[in-house]
Homo-oligomer: A and B are copies of this chain.
Amino acid sequence: MPLSSDQLAEIEEQRAQSHPTRRVVAAGMEDHLYTAHQVLDHGFVRVIDYMGDDAAICQAARVSYGKGTKSVQNDEGLIRYLMRHWHSTPFEMCEIKLHVKLPVFVARQWIRHRTANVNEYSARYSILDREFYIPAPDNVAAQSEVNNQGRGDALQGEEAARVLDILKADSARCYDNYESMISQDNQQGLARELARMNLPANIYTQWYWKVDLHNLFHFLRLRADPHAQYEIRVYADTMCKIVADWVPFAYRAFEDYRLGAVNLSAQMVDSLRRMLAGEAVTQENSGMTAREWREFEAVIRNG
């Protein structure tokens, strides 16, 4: 369990507060506020604040004086239209602020998304906690044989056990040494900004991360994807559930036109039309490479 009783008390205190506001309130998000959704063994995602809801997307798209809502049905239609035609700016009018605890190697992928605001816990200034990501046995996977950048099946028996032993032992030893180097008992104590370099990439860090809905969708499209590394995908999956409660119309449009959608190349569209017209199209007469043809078949067959 990742949280101390002090931390839980602070969270409860925040959840207990209630103030009147003239701002738009998203009922589905109020429920999430401050609660830590556990991810991996010690990580979490917590909603700290949010701005806007489905109606706020329409209000901005219409640049309206009032709420911008004509009717609920109308709003969903507009949101789907905006999503389908890549009108991204109205989605930028919603904003979310999260507190995330995550292993450093996940943080290093995550930070590549530049259009967000970040305040990370500083290991120059503070001492990191002894918390390391140790994969569950199911997730101790072999290198993929078909994809240089992926993982295959879970390792079996002894090999898996050996890996877990190594990860645990090296984490523990590195942290022990980190602590002993910064200790000021009977010695000067190494600067924190230096000592942290001894810590492996499965140590947990945490940050406040704030992003608008358009850029969050972009992040989720790439990171909730089956090609994303499992350890970041579980964060994306957790955020998908939160977003579905926050802006249900926009999330459904995102599922239909992004997450569950496919992009067909010019050659693929051409082949498709020929197939629907009854022609027998093969890789050879399609203009696609073998690899593209495999990707095309995956789309039109069972997926």
Contact = CB atoms under 8 A, between A and B. Distances in A.
Nearest to A66: B10
Contact of A95 (B95, B124, B299): B95
A14 B65 CA distance: 9
Contacts of A51: 49-51, 95, 97
Contacts of A244: none
B273 A276 contact: no
A19 interface: yes
Contact of A143 (B67, B190, B299): B190
Interface residues of A, number: 141
A110 B2 CA distance: 29
Given A89-B118, A125-B148, A261-B266, A67 B14 contact: yes
A250 B53 CA distance: 27
Given A142-B188, A143-B190, A190-B143, A90 B119 contact: yes
Interface string A140-167: 1111100011111001100100110011
Interface of A: 3, 6-7, 10-11, 13-15, 17-25, 30, 33-34, 48-52, 56, 59-61, 63-67, 77, 80-81, 84-86, 89-90, 92-93, 95, 97, 99, 103-105, 108, 111-112, 114-115, 117-122, 124-125, 133, 135, 139-144, 148-152, 155-156, 159, 162-163, 166-167, 170, 173-174, 177, 180-182, 184, 187-194, 196-202, 206-208, 210, 212, 222, 227, 229, 255-257, 259-269, 272-273, 275-276, 289, 291-292, 295, 299-303
14 contacts: A13-B67, A95-B210, A105-B197, A150-B191, A151-B191, A151-B193, A152-B191, A166-B177, A170-B173, A170-B198, A198-B201, A257-B265, A276-B276, A276-B300
